[in-house]
Structure 1
Amino acid sequence: MMKKFFVAFIFCCFFTSIALAIDSGPVKVGVNIPVGITLDDGQWQPTVEGYVWTAVIFHEQANFIRIHFDNFNLAVGEYIEVTDPRNQKEIIYANKGLKELKNFWSGSIFSDTAIITYHANRQYDAKEGFTIIEYGAGTVDFLNVNESCTSTVTYENLRCKTRPSAVMANAEKIGHIVFVEGQYQYVCSGSLVSDGSHFLTNEHCMSGGQTTCNTYDVYFEYETTGTSCTSNSATKGSSFSCDQFVTKNACYDYALATLSGNPAGTYGYLEIDPNGVTTTSTNVYIIGHPAGYPKKLMGFGNSSNDVNAVNVDPIFPGSCSNNESDSEIEYEIMSQGGSSGSPVFNESTNKVVALHHAGWDCGNQFSEQGWGINMKKVYPEIESYLGGAPPSGDQLSVTVNITHTYIGDLRVVLTTPTSQTVVLHDNTGSSTDNIHTTYTITGWDGTYAGSWSLSVVDSARYDTGTLDSWSVAATPDGGSTHNASYTGSPIAIPDNNTGGITSTINMY
């Protein structure tokens, strides 16, 4: 008999409408429950091909479950299946798991029950296997939506009416995100913006950079199946994980990453207007996933949805204080948390002109006001990553020398004086020895004076190493090259330690 891990947990309501509230953050849709399941738990059964280990996680009232694996290290030919009881969704992991991270979150199972099946060559081996340290359980039933707050004027299911082909084409590129921050599961929206599957969302939907990116579960076909403009059943389609965090800016509330599996090859990508919005006569609409609902079209075809203002400084939740003009636009479109990261389109050109990031929460009796970061500010900062030319004259290179017997265990991140972060090495290379590499960085903001830091984390057991030396060569705007380096004693990198080490150098 399979061992079932039963957790009785009564959820509070996550979708309370509050008058005069701002939906300036992602929506909490689930909670993470520690369990500590090891291969000593569950049930082993011999098979013709070897052994099968099975465990079942059941969470009362849950509508989706995600599994958090740790120390994931399977032998060649072995694999894990995560399924629901009806086997309607099957997720398979092998080797060292998702992106060889060893510590990762699975995709979502849309059920109150997740079945974890380990197809092993032999019974428990201390050098191989995995543990389940926690699971995420959510109350939102993504497949049977019962909406609590809608608008018949500005807020409708995408496919409940005949829409222009350009609008429908744009909608294909927009994704629903489920991700983890701390002890909770959240939802946001985002969109594909390059043929390299670059994915654009709000910074507050990826505030942890690569750490948050690694928890992403993204769906592009999450839409209603019928013609109702309010409530309906839905399908989710295939999911995609986040591959590499690229860059973010809390001031302009954007984050850019790439997705695994090349979704842009299937859905295409949006066209961005580098000029954004310059006049209040611009008519706009939004496509996204408010409150984690199926894909919605917000504000389309309503002449009252002209931009009300092109403001100075982002309002929520940005931290700009430099009185920049044209940094935020304001419009009369209702939204909810979960819409964060949705693209805002010019209705005449169907190009992206802003990134939605705040609005009066659904149910507010006074206003349907929303705010978006103007693409005039965002595009220059991400252009170089999307295939455009790098910022003129700015050149940055980082040389890293690490002695280690398994570089697939390592994650190496550079932080600039202005807190720009760049992932130089991210658990790739498998059993290759040592890192002796010079990295060329694009998209650097040109600030060289101040403290630079390099963090190194070894996220797996057994193999160890040292940070021997590293250096930075910065040439801002074609001027003089500034150099700084660490050449002291080698720094031991703690084994299987998420804290890792950080080395700091100063440049003048």
Structure 2
Amino acid sequence: MKKSYLLITLLVVLFAAGLSFSSFAQVGNGGTPPSFTQNLGDDIDVITLPAPDVQALQREDEIAEQEKELYRFGKVIWTDLTPENSGTWTELPDGGRVWRLTIKAEGALGLGVLYKHFQIPYGGKLYLYNKDKKQLLGAYSNATNLKGEEFANEAIRGDEVTLEYYESGKILGDLKLYIHGINYIYRSPAFTLESEKASGACEVNIQCPEGATWQDEKKGVARIEILIGGDSYLCTGSLVNNTSNNCTPYFLSAYHCSEGASASDLNQWVFYFGYEASTCAATTGYYQVSITGATKKAEAANTVGSKSDMLLLQLNSTSFGTYVPYYNGWSKATTASANGVGIHHPAGDIKKISTYTSALTNYYTTHWQVIWAATVTDHGVTEGGSSGSPIFNNSSLVVGTLTGGSSYCDAPNDPDIYGKFSYHWESNGTTSAAQLKPWLDPSSTGATTCPGIAYPCTGTSPVANFSGTPTTVTVGGTVAFTDLSTGTITSRSWSFPGGTPTSSTATNPSVVYNTVGDYNVTLTINGGADTETKTNYIHVVPAGTGGCDELLYPLAGTMTYSYMNGNNSYSDEAKANYISSFSPYDYIQGVYIDFCFTTNNTGSGNCTVAVWDDNGTGGAPNTVLGQKVVPISSIVANLPSTEDIADFTYVEFASPIDITGPFYVGVILPTTAGDTVIITSNADGETSPGIAWERWDGGAWYAYTDASSWEQNLALAIFPDMCEDASSAGEFFANQISVYPVPSTDIVFVELNNDMIKDASFEVFDSFGRKIDGISSKNITDNKLQLNFNSCADGIYIIHFNTPAGKFIKKVSIIR
């Protein structure tokens, strides 16, 4: 995704001039302070604050870093500043007025303003800028006000910050600004020189090859500037999704990042998203947006062996501007991940990625232990500032948060430990204040995983669905199952009673059935988020009974229609699907087709349904193996069809077409003016690689995927009705179905003379393949039916019987 930096025009000009500094992008309303365009004078109040003892702070930090404790970067200088007791007011000609205050603290790399009260009235605007006016924040307005009155600004570079507040003559409400502290930044990668690298030399930028497949997940990870009492620290954490997919801004980190922080402190935490380099080799980067303030929802202490060091916050705002954050998915599974990554901000530096290629191991019951691996770029580890960062499994789901460890660039093979997400879930205590479960699974779905989702979370919940091919097999036959679920799928659990194996977690498993019977199949996705069961879906018949099935049905995805799939303006001559796999079937007895558009239905126009071999140049269609002319007037058209296959046009060949190798099945389109048909298909990418082909005007065949054609991966809604050769057993069952009298005037009797076929269902088609729905039936005995054709015209009709022993066809003639 193209990055969007929230910079006002002034900053763009400065960058063009070759100036380089971090762009802090707290979402504001833009604009220009009045003093930038008007001569308001330089006589404003300046408050000079005493600087802390930086050398003493650095000595403390050296000791803390040896223990891999929190990375401190600032010290708060407490103040008591308001527009009532400090600053300078200036009246403006338009009836408005401006208040300005400059705050200095010698030697600071940056200054952050902390507010005990922050309420901007309607009509008011607040700006902050540094001494040379090259960095500008704001305007902050009434829209910036949060539910609590505490607030914190992004830090201003340098040891001087000026606040400038403008209010018009039509202001509504009162200004409440109480500056109770200035965060004196004495070390931070945000304020180091471009040639310096704040973190260790072995760390790997998220834009390096190692991060190529983690570009969504990185957008949920943020650097946190933490206030605890009078000190400022750096940690990392991540937005996390919940099973309602509703974009509640839950943010997961580590308890030890917040230990001792009050609710007031939390309201002044600043979360920086998108702080990363633009290239693999770069040493500096830019923030894209920041959010101020959070509320604690749940926590668990950092006590390895009994507590898992968990912190769940809810951000006070979702004012992300043009930045599109990603709410990372999670897994509460207790099984160890085989490989994955950690994404973090070591020493508060630009976003980094560390990779593990050997499985996580248990570190007591509460934590995972990880050993980082060398990769193509370097050997990423963790540092102070990485605390609270997520570790992901190989399904891109969060499985833990960083507690600490002993890895360093000079000891990259030493382990780190992460609090287990599975323990965070509900093992730290019995109340919602100690669990993730009530917040991240608010409807108690029981899901074990939850996929990630991008803001503004407009995606739909995942829905389980699947197909099997074929659905009727002889004993010992194999069914290939395809997951057709929609949404983001993070896990699958299949159940195959009667099959081998009886269960699977594969995406598209194959199952062998060795016992005659009808069997259910169940697919559960995302740990219980949705389940689909197809009852009596697989029919296993004795060997040699000549089972039949419709290949390709149903297509993956959503049926649609397009001018591509007809004659169109290019005068295409034919459309077909390529079938490379058709075991265990031997012949085609007919074809189901979903024609989604027809014209001249009352005319004399025809199209032809055909089967070709693949012996043409480059495997294209060549010799016609069989065909049947179909009047357009007989075609069933749907716009688009969402009906069962029985409502499609069914074309039965005069004689079965034997198949010995890959083949094409399709439609030779009408070319007479006014005669038009279009075939339904799925959408691009829903069958990949695509199997649709077309014959151009002039006779050359091209795959839809070809650069000369449509460059589309899809399949047409053309389903060959294929069968196995019937042995004596199959012929026996077929002969147990009696239909009489033939011919008949109205009433036809059907007898099913074997227990294996007694529970048959049936459908009736005319000779053009149109399903006939107006035929009444009644049971005479357990195995005898009466069918009434009195509403049908004279002609030949085909009855399709679906039985546990296979699929059989009988013909009847109605002659009056």
Coarse TM-score class (shorter-chain normalised):
0.5 to 0.7
**Range with bigger deviation, 101-110 or 353-362:** 101-110
Q: Which residues of 2 match residues 101-500 of structure 1 at below 5 A? A: 101-120=148-167, 128-139=175-186, 140-142=188-190, 144=192, 146-147=196-197, 150-152=200-202, 155-159=203-207, 161-163=208-210, 165-194=212-241, 195-207=247-259, 208=261, 210-228=263-281, 232-250=283-301, 251-259=307-315, 260-261=317-318, 263=320, 266-276=324-334, 278-279=335-336, 282-298=338-354, 300=355, 303=357, 306-307=359-360, 309-312=361-364, 325=365, 327-333=366-372, 334-346=381-393, 348-360=394-406, 362=408, 368-380=414-426, 381-390=435-444
Question: 1:263 Cα deviation (Å)?
Answer: 4.7
Q: Does the C-alpha gap of structure 1 residues 20 and 102 become closer, same or farther in structure 2, counting only changes over 3 Å?
A: closer
Q: Does the C-alpha gap of structure 1 residues 49 and 84 become closer, same or farther in structure 2, counting only changes over 3 Å?
A: farther
Unaligned runs of 5+ in 1: 313-324, 393-508
**Range with bigger deviation, 241-250 or 102-111:** 102-111
TM-score scaled by structure 2? 0.41
What secondary structure is seen at the aligned counterpart in 1 of 2:362?
A: strand
Question: 1:282 Cα deviation (Å)?
Answer: 2.2
Higher relative contact order (CA 8 A, sep 6+): 1
Q: For the residues of structure 2 that align with 1:237 and 1:34, how far apart are their CA atoms?
A: 29
Cα deviation digits, residues 142-172 of structure 1 (max 9, x gap): 15462365253xx21211x224543122111
The question of whether the paired residues in 2 share the 8 Å contact of 1:196 and 1:262 is answered with no
What secondary structure is seen at the aligned counterpart in 1 of 2:157?
A: coil
Q: Does the C-alpha gap of structure 1 residues 356 and 74 become closer, same or farther in structure 2, counting only changes over 3 Å?
A: closer
Q: For the residues of structure 2 that align with 1:38 and 1:149, how far apart are their CA atoms?
A: 38
What secondary structure is seen at the aligned counterpart in 1 of 2:330?
A: coil
Report the aligned-residue RMSD. 3.3
Cα deviation digits, residues 39-84 of structure 1 (max 9, x gap): 3322221112321110112233323321122344554423322233
Q: For the residues of structure 1 that align with 2:154 and 2:65, how far apart are their CA atoms?
A: 35
Q: Does the C-alpha gap of structure 1 residues 369 and 201 become closer, same or farther in structure 2, counting only changes over 3 Å?
A: same
Aligned match of 1:505: none
What is the identity, as a one-letter code, of the residue corresponding to 1:80? L
Q: For the residues of structure 1 that align with 2:45 and 2:249, how far apart are their CA atoms?
A: 40
Q: Does the C-alpha gap of structure 1 residues 19 and 257 become closer, same or farther in structure 2, counting only changes over 3 Å?
A: closer
Q: Does the C-alpha gap of structure 1 residues 20 and 103 become closer, same or farther in structure 2, counting only changes over 3 Å?
A: closer
Unaligned runs of 5+ in 2: 1-42, 242-246, 302-306, 373-380, 427-434, 447-816
Q: For the residues of structure 1 that align with 2:147 and 2:368, how far apart are their CA atoms?
A: 41
Q: Does the C-alpha gap of structure 1 residues 75 and 354 become closer, same or farther in structure 2, counting only changes over 3 Å?
A: closer
Q: For the residues of structure 2 that align with 1:179 and 1:245, how far apart are their CA atoms?
A: 13
The question of whether the paired residues in 1 share the 8 Å contact of 2:341 and 2:392 is answered with yes
Instruction: Kindly indicate whether residue 83 of structure 2 is the aligned counterpart of residue 35 of structure 1.
Output: no
Question: 1:294 Cα deviation (Å)?
Answer: 0.8
What is the identity, as a one-letter code, of the residue corresponding to 1:45? T
TM-score scaled by structure 1? 0.64
How many residues end up aligned between the 2 structures? Answer: 366
1:11 to 24, 35, 54: 54
What secondary structure is seen at the aligned counterpart in 2 of 1:357?
A: strand
**Range with bigger deviation, 357-366 or 241-250:** 357-366
Question: 1:174 Cα deviation (Å)?
Answer: 0.3
Structure with bigger gyration radius: 2
Question: 1:185 Cα deviation (Å)?
Answer: 1.0
Question: 1:391 Cα deviation (Å)?
Answer: 9.5
Q: For the residues of structure 2 that align with 1:70 and 1:267, how far apart are their CA atoms?
A: 28
Question: 1:109 Cα deviation (Å)?
Answer: 2.4
Aligned match of 1:60: 106
